[in-house]
Chains A and B, each alone.
Chain A
Amino acid sequence: MRNYICIALLLVCAASVKAQDLSAFRLTYDMAIPTGQFNSDYINKTSWRGIGFDSRWEVKTNVTVGFNLGWQVFSQRFDDVTEVLGSGRTTVNGTQFRFVNTFPMQANVHYYFGEEYGVRPWAGLALGTAYSDQRTQVGFSEIQATSWSFALTPQVGIDVPLNSDDLSFTVNMRYNQFFQNTVSFDYSFLVFSAGFKFLYH
């Protein structure tokens, strides 16, 4: 965890901050679709509860480094589920309420296309960690698993300037892969984001 923070700080400090259209922060609303084993084994319902914060600084022409923070809430109800627990001695049946709250914290690098102050498509990669809290509630019982995991997120997006010079509409799509060691499957999900980009001045 400390290493990730150091890497993120180094990237930010190394940036020669320029007052151009790429040094900016973004606030986004995020929705997410579970994929892979996360989808097949635990939750397959789309999450409509997500938030993202992303700050980037231009370090050379068309290239930014920065960091991003997020929060995504997955939840789903399953009726009449029978599940064998732990060592196999205990079996439980009931209505299950499943939740996963994930909080990615990553350093990122992006490359931009298009003209300055114009429509800017971009692509990038974020690496870092994610804290996740998984809970399964049955009756009055709850099974909880928390983890810090390595988080890998390739992403693409586009910024569309609005009337104001320092405000853009931004949409992006990213694929989150959080490698788990406390539960039997990774958290993988596709995120669609929409929000605003505010330039640093």
Chain B
Amino acid sequence: MLKKLIQSSSLIALLLMGCYPIGPEFVEDYDATYTILNDVNFDFADPTRQTYHLADTVIVLTDPNTSPTDIQINQAAILARVRTNMNQLGYTEIPDIDDAIDDADYLILVSVNRSDNYFYTWWPGWVGWPGWPGWGWGGCCFFPPTVTSTNIRTGAILVDLIDARALKLRRNELPEVWIGLGEGLFRGSQQNINNRALESIDQMFRQSPYLKR
């Protein structure tokens, strides 16, 4: 009976390889785009909101103590893609900052981040079986302690839509009404990373139809 049980159990163990048999295979499989309505009371349908100002610099959010801040991403292309999407939605850009202070309905800030996330695993070592004669330091079976580290390098692009009218009121909180966030693995060629960032910007606007004029 026991023999049958063992045979059957072995067969079943082979059949089941785990609870989560599938997962990401390619770098792009980790890419995700989020959009967040930060102010639930904000009226995106307000027809008087027609203009925007796009800040001319992409802010690098990376902490210089943890990761290189030279992200080498095509900032001009990123700003151009945000501009294209806003224009396609029916908004008019006010490029001059002085004019924008008075007339822009939205201020758009774009930022990027690279994050190096280190994970450490530690194997304490093994010097033999307790009580087993003849084993120990210098014996047959010493496995030294080992530390291994893994770096999961991620990147993110953040597009903030700020209510420029509320900004003039100078309240304590930044009137951020919509956030677009693209994130993924910071891996692949420079062109691949840039293309994925641009695709993520397009997706942010695609999945936010309420922004359309």
Most B CB within 10 A of own CB, among A71, A77, A93, A138: A93
Report yes or no: A139 in contact with B8, Cβ–Cβ below 8 A. no
A80: nearest chain-B partner, CB-CB = B203
Q: Known contacts A93-B207, A95-B29, A196-B8; is A49 also within 8 Å of B21 by CB?
A: yes
Q: Nearest chain B CB to A11's CB is how many angstroms away?
A: 23
Distance to closest chain B CB from A28 (angstroms): 9
Flag if A77 contacts B36 (CB, 8 Å): no
A73 near B21 (CB under 8 angstroms)? yes
Give the size range of B's interface with the partner: 20 to 34
Q: How far is the CB of B102 from chain A (nearest CB, A)?
A: 31
B16 neighbours in A (Cβ, 8 Å): 49, 51, 71, 73
Number of A-B contacts (CB under 8 A): 79
A101 nearest CB across to chain B (Å): 5
Residue contact B22 to A95, C-beta cutoff 8 Å = no
Q: What is the distance, in angstroms, from B32's C-beta to the closest C-beta of chain A?
A: 3
The answer, among B12, B30, B36, B183, for a CB contact under 8 Å with A51, is B12
In the complex, A51 Cα to B12 Cα: how many Å?
Answer: 7
Interface string of A161-201 (1 = CB under 8 A from B): 00000010000000000000000000000000000101001
Say yes or no: is A40 at the interface (Cβ < 8 Å to chain B): no
Is A140 within 8 A of B32, CB to CB? Answer: yes
Q: Provide the bound-state CA to CA distance between A94 and B29, in Å.
A: 7
Interface residues of A in 123-154 (CB under 8 A from B): 133, 135, 137-141
Which of B15, B18, B30, B32 is the most central at the interface, judged by chain A CB atoms within 10 Å of its CB?
A: B32
Tell me the residues in window 1-25 of chain B with beta carbons closer than 8 Å to chain A beta carbons. Answer: 1, 4, 8-9, 11-12, 15-24
Given contacts A89-B36, A90-B36, A139-B30, contact A97 B22 (CB under 8 A): yes
Residues of chain A at interface, number, CB under 8 A: 32
Contact residues in A for B35 (Cβ distance below 8 Å): 90-91
Cβ of A13 within 8 Å of any chain B Cβ, yes or no, is no
Task: Determine whether the beta carbon of B32 is less than 8 Å from that of A92.
Answer: yes
A109 lies within 8 A of chain B by Cβ: no
Residue pair A93, B15 in contact (C-beta under 8 Å): no
Query: Which residues of chain A are within 8 angstroms of B11 by Cβ–Cβ distance?
Result: 29
Q: Are B19 and A141 in contact (CB under 8 A)?
A: no
Q: Mark A57-94, 1 if CB is under 8 A from B, else 0.
A: 00000000000000101011100001000001111111
Chain A residues whose C-beta falls within 8 Å of the C-beta of B12 in the assembled complex: 27, 29, 51
Contact with A along B171-213 (1 / 0, CB 8 A): 0000000000001100000000000000000010001100000
B31 on interface, CB distance cutoff 8 Å: yes
Give Cα A168 to B38, complex, Å. 63
B89 to chain A, nearest CB (A): 16
Whether a CB of chain B sits under 8 angstroms from the CB of A99 is yes
A97: which B residues are within 8 A, CB to CB?
Answer: 20, 22-24
Contact between A138 and B32, CB atoms less than 8 A apart: yes
Chain B residues close to A by CB (< 8 Å): 1, 4, 8-9, 11-12, 15-24, 28-38, 40, 154, 183-184, 203, 207-208
Binding site for B on A (CB under 8 A): 27, 29, 49, 51, 71, 73, 75-77, 82, 88-95, 97, 99, 101, 133, 135, 137-141, 167, 196, 198, 201
If A77-B22, A89-B37, A138-B32 are given as contacts, then 16 extra A-B residue pairs at C-beta distance below 8 Å, sorted by A number, are A27-B12, A29-B15, A51-B12, A51-B15, A73-B16, A75-B21, A90-B37, A91-B36, A91-B208, A93-B207, A97-B24, A101-B19, A139-B30, A139-B183, A140-B154, A141-B32
27 A-B pairs with CB atoms under 8 Å apart are A29-B11, A29-B12, A29-B15, A49-B21, A73-B21, A75-B20, A76-B22, A77-B22, A89-B37, A90-B34, A90-B35, A91-B35, A91-B207, A92-B34, A94-B32, A94-B33, A95-B24, A95-B28, A95-B29, A97-B22, A99-B20, A101-B19, A133-B19, A135-B20, A138-B32, A139-B183, A201-B1
